Amino acid sequence: MNIPILEMNNIVKSYPGVIALNKVSLNFFEGEVHAIVGENGAGKSTLIKVISGAVHPESGSIVYQGIEYSHLSLYEAKMKGIEVVYQEFSLIESLSVAENIFLGDKVGNFFSFKNIVAQAEVLFRKYNIDIDVRQKVSELSPAQMQLTEIVKAVSKSAKVLVLDEPSAPLSIAETNKMYEIIKEVKKNGTTIIYISHRLEEIFKISDRVTVLRDGILISTLPIIEVTRKKMIEMMVGRKVREDYPIRKIKYDDIALEVKNMSGNGVKDISFSLRKGEILGVAGLMGSGRTEMAMAIYGGAKKDKGEIFINGEKVLINSPHRAIYYGMGLIPEDRKRTGCFLEKTIQFNLSIASIRNLSNGFFVDKKREIKQSKYYSDLLNIKTPSLNQVVRNLSGGNQQKVVVGKTLGAQSRIIIFDEPTRGIDVGAKMEIYELMNQLADEGNSILMISSDLVELIGMSDRIMVLSEGKLMGELYRKDFSQTKIIDMASGNN
């Protein structure tokens, strides 16, 4: 591991109002897993876009396989063996899994769907991934999409494989499968550049780690020389609490009750959620957690069952009705379903409550700006202006926009689906403290998470799903990762 396959020399890249990368220099060796860490907005995404040719630096150079370039184009990077799995899915949803895997590749002399299906099945079997490759991507869960993206990237025999938050939508079992893929391609000499906010992953699979902060390279070190505490302090430039914020649990009346609900992949689900409670939802991929949330919220059809809010039976057959009854959803895929990426922060923070901000047919702009500024300040959204387009924000700030949009609609029952996916340790603490504050104010929170440590740290109770069925509930005194995994595997 002593031959740099890729070097970045004094890379500078700026956007309006911010220097994303400020004279960043680092190298990557053949056959290593090199982690890149930093808070949201540290420059990680810009760095990998420079590597992939998606953006061109203003100055500096790139040395790849001994040849110096001022920049690479997307085509050049791909042809030279650089593959990137971004946070945003790049699959074509109208095509099958198999067609996406081999899109743009020559597979035989003539196109044969049967042929590409057979080859795709070989790939998925090799990595022990159970996905029907004939299935359209639009029918996959986010976790299945992510695994498909990873298999697609490694199928190209990449020399450099960049993985940007690859485990974010994955459960423990799927993450372990991803580790096996990384181990296999590393053994073949591929360089893996690994970006993640889950620090335990960094220590598990990395050889070296580079820390970025505010576009500046703070340090590159062998992973064996770094402690978790030291890494976090380098990332944020200050000491940060990592424990979960403590609060006194004060149960109140039942806010939400679901009785015998079936449909959208779940079967005969019954549970209650009290005012002031954080109820965690655990389960493996395909367990029905998100499907249950969508059925409750009116985003998917229910075949049977009843929903009661504050003791009153209600009909929720659309998200509009859910919002009417004071229910909000922060979805697991914030980019696709949580916010309007091409719209401004102000638009996003006010859209869900636009009727309350209107005088007849017209929006009261003063009230809209006031509300948007209130939630922007409350959630500490880092932006030069409320007119900033949401796509330009970091992942953590995008998540805060989704939360603000939901709070702006005066939601009292809030479903958080993977609330801290893809956000840094500092932003996570802010989200946790906000959730506790909401619960302390008498709001009810249903929290779905693939992170068992997070569930155990934040929940008052945890309900566990397996294959669409409720396997049971655990109270805080009975919490344990082993018990949750056992129940999620179908044992109760």
Would you give the DSSP letter of residue 88?
S
Q: Where are the beta strands (DSSP E) in 16-125?
A: 18-29, 33-37, 59-64, 67-69, 82-85
* Full domain range(s) for residue 480: 254-489
Classified as helix, coil or strand, 329 is strand
- Rounded to 5 degrees, φ, ψ at 236 are -105, -15
- Report if residue 467 sits inside a domain: yes
Domain boundary among 179, 208, 236: 236
Measured between alpha carbons, how far is 218 from 147 in angstroms, rounded to an integer? Answer: 32
Residue 221 and residue 304 share a domain: no
- Report if residue 241 sits inside a domain: no
Q: How far is CA 112 from CA 115, 116, 169, in A?
A: 5, 6, 32
Domain boundary among 184, 210, 236: 236
Residue 440 and residue 338 share a domain: yes
Q: How far is CA 345 from CA 313, 406, 445, in A?
A: 35, 13, 24
User: In the chain, how many domains are there?
Assistant: 2
- Report if residue 245 sits inside a domain: no
Question: How do residues 439-453 score in pLDDT, each as one tens digit?
Answer: 999 999 999 998 888
As beta bridge partners, residue 138 has none
Residue 289 and residue 218 share a domain: no
Residue 293 and residue 185 share a domain: no
Question: How do residues 87-126 score in pLDDT, each as one tens digit?
Answer: 778 899 999 999 999 887 765 555 678 889 999 999 999 9
Residue 145 and residue 259 share a domain: no
pLDDT on residue 254:
94
pLDDT on residue 267:
94
Q: What is the CA radius of gyration of the chain?
A: 23
Q: How far is CA 83 from CA 6, 208, 444, 492, in A?
A: 13, 20, 43, 42
Which residues of the chain have a pLDDT value below 70?
1, 106-111, 238-243, 422, 492
| DSSP string for residues in 15-44 | ETTEEEEEEEEEEEETT-EEEEE--TTSSH
* Closest alpha carbon to 47 in 21, 27, 25: 21
Residue 187 and residue 58 share a domain: yes
pLDDT on residue 107:
57
Residue 293 and residue 229 share a domain: no
For the chain, the straight-line distance linking the first and the last C-alpha, in angstroms and rounded, comes to 47
- Report if residue 374 sits inside a domain: yes
pLDDT on residue 109:
55
Residue 294 and residue 215 share a domain: no
- Report if residue 22 sits inside a domain: yes
Residue 222 and residue 156 share a domain: yes
Domain boundary among 236, 269, 293: 236
pLDDT on residue 232:
84
Q: Where are the beta strands (DSSP E) in 283-425?
A: 304-309, 312-314, 327-330, 358-359, 362-363, 413-417
Q: What own/partner pairs with CB < 8 Å and gap ≥ 24 does 349-356 have?
A: 349/375, 349/376, 349/386, 349/401, 349/404, 349/405, 349/408, 350/408, 351/405, 352/323, 352/328, 352/405, 352/406, 352/408, 352/409, 353/408, 353/409, 353/410, 356/410
CATH number at residue 340: 3.40.50.300
Classified as helix, coil or strand, 397 is helix
pLDDT on residue 108:
55
Residue in this structure with the two tokens 């109760």, named with its chain if needed: 492
- Report if residue 247 sits inside a domain: no
pLDDT on residue 416:
94
Number of H helices, E strands in the chain: 16, 22
pLDDT on residue 452:
86
Contacts of 146 (CB under 8 A, 6+ apart): 85, 89, 166, 168, 169, 170, 174
- Report if residue 249 sits inside a domain: no
pLDDT on residue 469:
93
Residue in this structure with the two tokens 């006194």, named with its chain if needed: 248
